[in-house]
Amino acid sequence: MENEFVTLTIDGQEVKAKKGITILEAAKQVGIDIPTLCFLKGINEVGDCRMCIVEVEGRRGFATSCIQTVEEGMVVHTHTPNVLEARHVILDLIISNHSKDCLTCTRSGNCELQKLATKFNVLNVEFEGERTQHKIDELSPSIVRDFNKCILCRRCIAACKNVQKIGAIDCINRGFESCISTVGDHSLNDVNCTFCGQCIQSCPTGALHEKETIDDVWIKLKDPESYVIVQTAPAVRAALGEEFQMEIGTNVTGKMVTALKRLGFDKVFDTNTGADFTITEEANEFIERFSKGGTLPMITSCSPGWVKYIEMNYPELIPHLSTCKSPHEMFGAILKSYYAEKEGIDPRKIYVVSVMPCIAKKFERQREEMKNSGIYNVDNVITTRELARMIKQANIEFTKLEDTNFDSPMGEATGAGAIFGTTGGVMEAALRTAQDTLTGKDLEKIDFEQVRGGEGIKKATVNIAGNEIKVVAASGLANAQKIMEEIKSGKADYQFVEIMACPGGCVMGGGQPIRSSKERAEKDIRKLRADCLYSIDEKSTIRKSHENPIIKKIYKDYLEKPGSHKAHELLHTEYEKREKYNI
């Protein structure tokens, strides 16, 4: 198919490039790395920052290489004196309006602007002048916005408005006064933000970051009165290694557990066990609804960004939500009841820290509904990134650590719990349990390939005990919106829906290691991380949640059975209509 390609010259090299690709991509093929800042593949391709300008022979002015597609016979120069001078000036201008306190910036070392400044050896700023001043918004439990570090690349807007279809932030004012803000410059806490954190993942600088709470953890770890338990979500182990320069998708479960023990946690447990509880309860809830004519389709409720989204945008559909708490909350509730009783510890002294790939969990943790007997199920949520920082601060050489296992008795989890961290995983885990429950057998067909993969919406029909069950797994809130509209208009013919707020699920959560625009363009990060979880599942001896011996034991000793009164009290919750704007 010769005509699908064009031949062009970039910096003297002949490039055979597929039609429709950009100069930027074609250059990459021959090892030419044109600098970019506002570019985020598939998400923000607008050419605003002007870093990627190149010269194209015969054309007046520069071409924008991140959006200009290749043409037959094009002759491109990426580093003429003209281009270099302009690029220097542009970079200089950006830095002239950027807060330069790199030493005290959370993104130092992983900042795309800083990298460019190094590359261009910016030693002094030629065009210093007035800087725009913004107050820092740190009122929300999840996100801190420091727009003194913003470079107006608008990647966050693209993520929020186009990918997630939320639009909590947008560009306001114009010209030099332009900035990214909310309506009326209110805190994110008071507007329609779901705290999914995709904006943080998109930000090239430190203008957006999680609200860090590791200081509280350090204090509790040093407090002899506190019994500090840490639990780690499934997706964390698939990404934590990246913070230590390990390959994307490396399973670091063992090293992570060792590191956590070294940090001084009294117990290191696995949120996957919590996930097994969730599955057991959720499968039970589904069967109840399915067989007794409850509200269908039933929608999963383990993604707190998603829960906040439905509460704000589709309160009338709340009855569709499963009443199950999310895994770490369930687990926290069990730890502060069953486990506390069993170990003879005052639950008020137990301090549960959840390590999550998610920043919405920080918000979820402090919801009033997430309390039992007046105490929070979980006391602190830190992200994958924050955990990495703790490990570094504790002088631990992560890559050299031996593997160890989670503490017993709560540490042993199933493969079903592991795949919770990727889109379609909750659905698959639930189907495994549901099919055994409905048939009363221990079935061997447990892989549900239809709900795996990176598509935003995956629909499948499964046959369980003679029942045709239609299921959907959607990730990303734009896709969630589509499903909600289907349900609202009565077009939905499915019974069970899994929704994850982040595109790709928890592995791509707002609390995960931040990868640069360049890496995101070159690698399928979602797939690499998800594959890690699927391989954990595959290697697990037990792959069905309800078969987890700990779960079985706790139901037997304490909760009686799934859906029991006690289970409801501890493991279920309720939701409320939430105003989008509290302004």
Partner 1 sequence: MKTLQEIEEIRKTKRKELDLRINTSSDTREKHILICHGTGCTSSKSPEILKRFREIIKEKNIENVRVIQTGCFGLCAKGPIVIIRPEDTFYANCKVEDCEEIIEKHIQKGEIVERLLCKDIDGKKVQKLDELSFYKKQKRIALKNCGVINPEEIDEYIAFDGYKALEKVLTQMSPEDVIDVITKSGLRGRGGAGFPTGKKWELTKESKGDQKYVVCNADEGDPGAFMDRSILEGDPHSVLEAMAIAAYTIGATKGFIYVRAEYPIAVHRFQVAIDQAREYGILGKNIFGTNFDFDVDIRLGAGAFVCGEETALLESIEGKRGQPRVKPPYPAQCGLWGKPTLINNVETYANIAQIILKGAEWYSSIGTEKSKGTKVFALGGNVNNIGLVEVPMGTTLREIVYDIGGGIPNGREFKAAQTGGPSGGCIPKEHLDTPIDYESLKQIGSMMGSGGLIVMDDTKCMVCLAKFYLEFTVSESCGKCTPCRIGTKRMLEILTKLCEGEGTELDIYKLEKLAANIQKASICGLGQSAPNPVISTLKYFREEFREHAIQKECRALECKAMSNITINEELCKGCGLCQRNCPVSAIEGESREKRVINQEKCIKCGTCLTSCPFKAIGN
Partner 2 sequence: MENIKCNCEGTYKEILEKYEKDKSNLIKILNDIQEKSGYIPQKAQKEISEYLGMPMAEIYGVITFYSRFTLKPKGKYHIAVCLGTACYVKGSQKILDRLKERLKIEEGETTPDGKFSIEATRCVGACGLAPVFTVNNEVHGKATVKMLDEIIDELESK
In the complex, the smallest distance separating the C-beta of residue 160 from partner 2, rounded to whole angstroms, is: 9
- Which partner from the list partner 2, partner 1, none does 168 bind, CB cut-off 5 to 8 Å by kind? partner 2
* Catalytic pick among 66, 324, 506, 532: 506
Catalytic-residue membership of 341: no
Interface with partner 1, residue 96, by CB under 8 A: yes
Tokens found for residue 452 = 């795996």
Catalytic-residue membership of 535: no
Out of 23, 144, 152, 299, the residue judged to bind partner 1 by CB under 8 A: 152
In the complex, the smallest distance separating the C-beta of residue 578 from partner 2, rounded to whole angstroms, is: 15
Interface with partner 2, residue 184, by CB under 8 A: yes
- Which partner from the list partner 2, partner 1, none does 581 bind, CB cut-off 5 to 8 Å by kind? partner 2
Residue with smaller CB distance to partner 2, 166 or 208:
166
Out of 136, 171, 219, 583, the residue judged to bind partner 1 by CB under 8 A: 171
Residue with smaller CB distance to partner 2, 29 or 481:
481
Out of 167, 409, 411, 453, the residue judged to bind partner 2 by CB under 8 A: 167
Catalytic-residue membership of 361: yes
H or E element, residue 567: helix 565-571
Q: Which of 9, 43, 50, 23 is nearest to 521 (CA)?
A: 43
- Which partner from the list partner 2, partner 1, none does 166 bind, CB cut-off 5 to 8 Å by kind? partner 2
* Catalytic pick among 55, 210, 243, 285: 285
CB atoms within 10 A of CB 576: 10
Instruction: Specify the residue for token string 């709470």.
Output: 213
Interface with partner 1 in residues 19-48 (CB under 8 A): 46-48
Interface with partner 1, residue 82, by CB under 8 A: yes
Catalytic-residue membership of 247: no
* Catalytic pick among 112, 282, 498, 547: 282
Interface with partner 2 in residues 315-374 (CB under 8 A): none
Catalytic-residue membership of 364: yes
Residue with smaller CB distance to partner 2, 20 or 184:
184
Interface with partner 2, residue 166, by CB under 8 A: yes
Q: What is the C-alpha to C-alpha distance for residues 386 and 511, in angstroms, rounded to an integer? A: 8
- Which partner from the list partner 1, partner 2, none does 106 bind, CB cut-off 5 to 8 Å by kind? none
**Segment near partner 2 (CB under 8 A); pick from 9-17, 169-177, 408-416, 428-436:** 169-177
Q: What is the C-alpha to C-alpha distance for residues 214 and 263, in angstroms, rounded to an integer? A: 12
Interface with partner 1, residue 212, by CB under 8 A: no
Interface with partner 2, residue 464, by CB under 8 A: no
Q: Which of 125, 127, 132, 173 is nearest to 151 (CA)?
A: 132
Interface with partner 2, residue 381, by CB under 8 A: no
Long-range contacts of 532-535 (CB under 8 A, 24+ apart): 532/237, 532/238, 532/249, 532/250, 532/251, 533/234, 533/235, 533/238, 533/418, 533/419, 533/421, 533/422, 533/425, 533/507, 534/419, 534/422, 534/452, 535/251
CB 361 within 8 A of CB 304: yes
Out of 17, 22, 62, 299, the residue judged to bind partner 1 by CB under 8 A: 62
Q: In whole angstroms, how far apart are CA 162 and each of 158, 174, 192, 199?
A: 5, 21, 15, 11
Instruction: Specify the residue for token string 């999963």.
Output: 300
Interface with partner 2, residue 155, by CB under 8 A: no
Interface with partner 1, residue 94, by CB under 8 A: yes
- 3-state SS, residue 424: coil
CB 503 within 8 A of CB 476: yes
**Distant-in-sequence, close-in-space partners of 238: CB < 8 Å, separation ≥ 6:** 249, 250, 251, 421, 507, 529, 530, 532, 533
Handedness of CA 112, 116, 117, 119 (dihedral sign): positive
Q: What is the C-alpha to C-alpha distance for residues 62 and 66, in angstroms, rounded to an integer? A: 12
Catalytic-residue membership of 282: yes
Please provide residue 166's backbone torsions phi and psi, each rounded to the nearest 5 degrees.
-100, -55
Interface with partner 2, residue 45, by CB under 8 A: no
Handedness of CA 477, 427, 425, 326 (dihedral sign): positive
Tokens found for residue 226 = 């506190």
Interface with partner 1, residue 111, by CB under 8 A: no
Residues at the site binding partner 2, with contacts judged by CB under 8 A: 161, 166-174, 181-184, 191-192, 580-581, 583
Residues at the site binding partner 1, with contacts judged by CB under 8 A: 46-50, 53, 61-62, 64, 67-68, 82, 85-86, 89-90, 93-94, 96-97, 126-127, 129-130, 152, 171, 173-178
Active site residues: 282, 285, 302, 322, 361, 364, 369, 506
